[in-house]
């Protein structure tokens, strides 16, 4: 099998952007899309009609299927882009044997609900994929900007530097700069936490807090992220590098951020359910905050921002009250 054969799992904005990136360096991308109507649209019109419709594909480079087992079997490197809450359902017909000797790349910034584990832990525990065969793709990278070919920096983390470097080369192109890391746990947990922080930023924005308070919130947030990732995986890392701080900033401030939008709607008075229905997209932070709250029972890290978001979205505490309490805890 061609060692450059890559499979992409998912059909949303980030999956669509990643397929666009990968076609710069490969003439053979296997792409799993669940919805037959999206497949038909791409094959007939060269666009994903539901996500990033401005992106035009060279369909000659794509082998698209709604059979996930087929795509996995045909691919050596498999990039997962489905939202974390849907990952276990997508893999329901897959076994450990199908993923044996595969390189798993997670482009998912979330935690698998019900399991309360990161994507790397999920593949390791449920499918026996060695951590050395897992790569975490992260960094400040809105799909909309990637689609527009705006300069973007991605970090690929793996305990096997050779594998991380190889995967990074697959993504590197004119508008994608890449680097590698060995911090697979920090580069997974930090994006999960930044989605929660973005919800808090959105809530504050919806409530009418200004830029001054948002700056304090975000500066406290990176300290909260550092406390947690240092407790979970205490290694020497620079929390101010782009894969941590940069990813937090872009999600906390950008109008492309679905987690910030979700929070803004709640701050504007929407119920959680109403916000979810109107967005028609997944705000990973909603699921993540419940998982992190549960995981933190073991570590007991001081996480006032995470606690505030949890109280609002799961305990139905009034955002005005909860944010006043949080404001007294920030420095």
Task: Please give the positions annotated as active site.
Answer: 194
Query: In which element (H, E) is residue 87 found?
Result: helix 84-90
| β-bridge mates for residue 194, sequence order | none
Contact 182, 118 (CB under 8 A): no
What backbone phi and psi angles, to 5 degrees, belong to 80?
Answer: -95, 125
Q: Which residue matches tokens 């994608």?
A: 176
SS3 104: strand
- What is residue 9's three-state secondary structure? strand
Buried b (16+ CB within 10 A) or exposed e, 60-96: eebbbbeebeebbebbebbbbbbbbbbbeebbeeeee
- How far apart are alpha carbons 249 and 225 in whole angstroms? 13
For residue 250, the 8-state DSSP code is: H
Q: How many C-beta neighbours within 10 Å does residue 59 have?
A: 14
Q: Which two tokens stand for residue 37?
A: 């109507």
Element (H, E) at 62: strand 62-65
Rg (CA), the chain: 19
Please name the residue ranges forming H helices in 281-327.
Answer: 284-299, 304-313, 319-327
CA neighbor of 299 nearest in space, from 202, 224, 222, 232:
232
CA distance 149 to 152: 8
């Amino acid at each position: 099998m061609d060692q450059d054969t890559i499979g992409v799992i998912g059909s949303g904005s980030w999956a669509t952007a990643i397929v666009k990136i990968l076609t710069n360096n490969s003439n053979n991308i296997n792409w799993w899309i669940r919805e037959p109507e999206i497949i038909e649209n791409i094959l007939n019109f060269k666009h994903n009609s539901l996500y990033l419709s401005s992106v035009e594909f060279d369909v000659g480079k794509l082998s698209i299927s709604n059979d996930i087992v087929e795509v996995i079997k045909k691919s050596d490197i498999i990039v997962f882009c489905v939202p974390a809450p849907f990952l276990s359902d997508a893999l329901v017909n897959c076994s450990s044997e199908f993923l044996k000797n595969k390189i798993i790349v997670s482009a998912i910034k979330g935690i698998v609900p019900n399991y309360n584990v990161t994507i790397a832990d999920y593949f390791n525990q449920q499918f026996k994929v060695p951590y050395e065969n897992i790569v975490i793709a992260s960094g400040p990278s809105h799909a909309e900007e990637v689609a527009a070919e705006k300069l973007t920096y991605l970090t690929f983390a793996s305990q096997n530097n050779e594998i991380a470097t190889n995967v990074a080369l697959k993504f590197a192109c004119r508008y994608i700069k890449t680097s590698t890391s060995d911090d697979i746990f920090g580069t997974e947990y930090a994006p999960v936490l930044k989605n929660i922080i973005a919800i808090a930023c959105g809530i504050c924005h919806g409530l009418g807090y200004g830029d001054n308070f948002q700056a304090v919130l975000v500066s406290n947030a990176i300290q909260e992220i550092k406390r947690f990732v240092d407790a979970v995986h205490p290694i020497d890392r620079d929390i101010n590098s782009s894969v941590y701080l940069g990813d937090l900033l872009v999600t906390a401030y950008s109008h492309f951020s679905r987690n910030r939008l979700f929070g803004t709607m709640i701050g504007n008075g929407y119920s959680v359910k109403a916000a979810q229905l109107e967005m028609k997209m997944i705000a990973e932070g909603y699921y993540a905050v419940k998982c992190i709250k549960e995981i933190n029972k073991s570590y007991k890290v001081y996480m006032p921002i995470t606690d505030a978001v949890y109280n609002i979205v799961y305990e139905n505490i009034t955002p005005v009250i909860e944010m006043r309490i949080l404001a007294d805890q920030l420095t």
